[in-house]
Amino acid sequence: MATLEINDLHVTVDAEGGAREILKGVDLTVKQGETHAIMGPNGSGKSTLAYSIAGHPKYTITGGTVTLDGEDVLEMTVDERARAGLFLAMQYPVEVPGVSVSNFLRTSATAMRGEAPKLRTWVKEVKTAMEQLQMDPAFAERNVNEGFSGGEKKRHEILQLELLKPKVAILDETDSGLDVDALRVVSEGVNRVRESGEVGTLLITHYTRILRYIKPDFVHVFAQGRIAESGGAELADKLENEGYEAYVKGGVSA
């Protein structure tokens, strides 16, 4: 069973006046088949957690460990983390001029699987996944995310998720900027991956609306660089009713 373990993680980022600590001792375990929702206000450290796990050079790990199936993630390069089975769907997916979606996907799948997928089978895989995400087949020949709307970029992220089949998927505010129809389609894609039982999901969000479509097994409230409280799906309902004020003021702790 694939397991991502985060123990006492401390992370800083360079800022005016020197390094500023963002994560102040995060402990979290995500197992294969589980869905964990990370919720919290702006500036609480949610996205910092995602990008630190993925290996973004902007963030400096000053303490703690991150392991995937017992292997030290922090000692891996970014591409090694991806090949090991970590997947990050970004809040703001970047454009890659000169690289078509079809070439990007097949190259990524080859790196993940250790060999190039058979062309006939691969074309069918991509076509089916795009149809389920209501993506125009013409997108396959466009450059990655170039000229895509916000919703199209998010669908492309989930298309990658469905085709690459990682061990752990980190979804950073996948619901950001989506209208109701796009949110439903994207959520259905995430749920198809979850139903395989082979992927652990870390879903980062401000709002509970995506949790109406993607039901988490666990909900964790981030505040001031730490997990302030953990619980089941009912914790999201509490946040919907009460907001984050008590956590920001430090009145609630795990």
Determine the average pLDDT of the residues in 12-40.
92
Beta bridge partners of 89: 171
Q: Which fold has domain 3-94+166-248?
A: Rossmann fold (3.40.50)
Contacts of 152 by beta carbon, 8 Å cutoff, 6+ apart: 135, 139, 145
pLDDT at 253: 43
pLDDT at 162: 94
Nearest partner of 83 among 108, 101, 62, 65, judged by Cα = 108
User: How would residue 250 be classed by pLDDT, with cut points 50, 70 and 90?
Assistant: low
Q: What is the pLDDT of residues 32-84, one digit of tens each?
A: 999 999 999 888 899 999 999 999 999 999 999 999 999 999 999 999 999 99
The pTM of the full predicted model, rounded to 2 decimals, is 0.91
Written as six digits, the tokens of 135 are 């993506």
Domain boundaries, given as residue ranges, for the chain:
3-94+166-248
- For residue 207, pLDDT over 90 is answered with no
Look up residue 182 and give its amino acid. A
Determine the average pLDDT of the residues in 181-192.
94
DSSP string, 148-179: --HHHHHHHHHHHHHHH--SEEEEESTTTT--
Beta bridge partners of 23: 11
Determine the average pLDDT of the residues in 4-27.
92
DSSP string, 109-122: HHHHHSSPPPHHHH
- For residue 245, pLDDT over 50 is answered with yes
- For residue 15, pLDDT over 70 is answered with yes
Q: What is the pLDDT of residues 91-107, one digit of tens each?
A: 888 889 999 999 999 99
DSSP state of 93: P
- For residue 222, pLDDT over 90 is answered with yes
